[in-house]
Chain A
Amino acid sequence: MTELLTVRDLRVDFDTPSGPVRVIDGLDLTVAPGERVALVGESGSGKSVTAQAILGLLPTARVTGSVRLDGQELVGASRRILRQVRGNRIGLVFQDPLSSLNPVMTIGRQVMEPLLIRGVRRAEARRRAIDLLARLGVRDAARRFDDYPHQFSGGMRQRVVIAIAVIAEPDLLIADEPTTALDVRIQAQVLSLLDEIAAERRMAVLLITHDLGIVAGFAQRVVVMYAGREVEQGPVDEIFGRARHPYTRGLLAAVPRIDERHQGRLPTIGGQVPTPAQRPDGCAFHPRCSSTVDACRSEVPLLLPRAAAHRVACHVATRHAEQVTEV
């Protein structure tokens, strides 16, 4: 087995006053060692819940299916095992650096913590933390080691969060909208740092984002989610150049581009993203889709072809492909 992370048939249900709601409905996902995979979708697509389910961070939800890290099952694993995995083997970066940091603990202490927990000696942990902070572009890292989060700017805080996530040299970094709260130039810096650190350490990255521009520059493979299901996945050039799912195509067309002179109207996808509780029968996208057949309204499409690198869950796209191969 060559995959680092293998997610199979992941289902996440939340109990609500009006009954259980399935937020993730049968997700399959793999990440190879050192690979960068982007999980893309709009609000409510389930991309952040997927990250939390992988890490066992959803104590109130019912999570079924399988999440294996190097063969070790994480769904239903004990808290002790999950604690070992988090921080040691999987690093985590969330969108808002301020709420990820402890406001009453110094920056240095927080960056050292994963090492101290592992039993690294304090002097050694301090040296490595200062090195890493400096590497991540925190100026005067040694002098600022005893500062508190409120003394750092947003961009600097996110660098600190990244330092905490990668200092224990995890095999996988899960980054959930890591630059969404940052200004565009800071975003570019943080992304290129992530890029360098991941390459240096051969660290795999699962990047969760709604920003297709970031995906294009960072990921090797893309998984597109819609209403809690995967609708398409493939190599980044395939998804951007030859997307087959009407939702993926619509999404790509709806993004204004800075390198294009075009005024006038943008192509749009009519309607709006359904909430998980109101997910339509059959293909969840069918009420917004312009080319539907009967099956779209009744059968959930499978991701096909199963073994291919580029897979799509669309009755129309896969039928069309069958006809083409028959001819």
Chain B
Amino acid sequence: MQLQYFLLVAAALFCIGIYGLVTSRNAIRVLMSIELLLNAVNINLMAFSNYLDASSIKGQVFTVFVITIAAAEAAVGLAIVLSIYRNRDTVDMEQFNLLKW
């Protein structure tokens, strides 16, 4: 087991998340893609924490913080999607252009 394996898995997961974030049109799927991105970052932090900082595991502490922020982000993001759905009657990302020039 090497550090590089975990970093490669995290990079692949990050790229999949970016692809989903850009291409998906359902707003909830965009939120799921953001969760994928945060998890890829978490895998990176945990791998570095285990292989480079094994005794004082600060990467795990950061991972716990990232999990906390991700939970808050999911709650607020779903509330925003729900509010937009109630006002605009759609979840299509292409129609959420209130702030577009």
Do A and B bind?
Answer: no
B interface list, Cβ under 8 A from A = none
A interface list, Cβ under 8 A from B = none
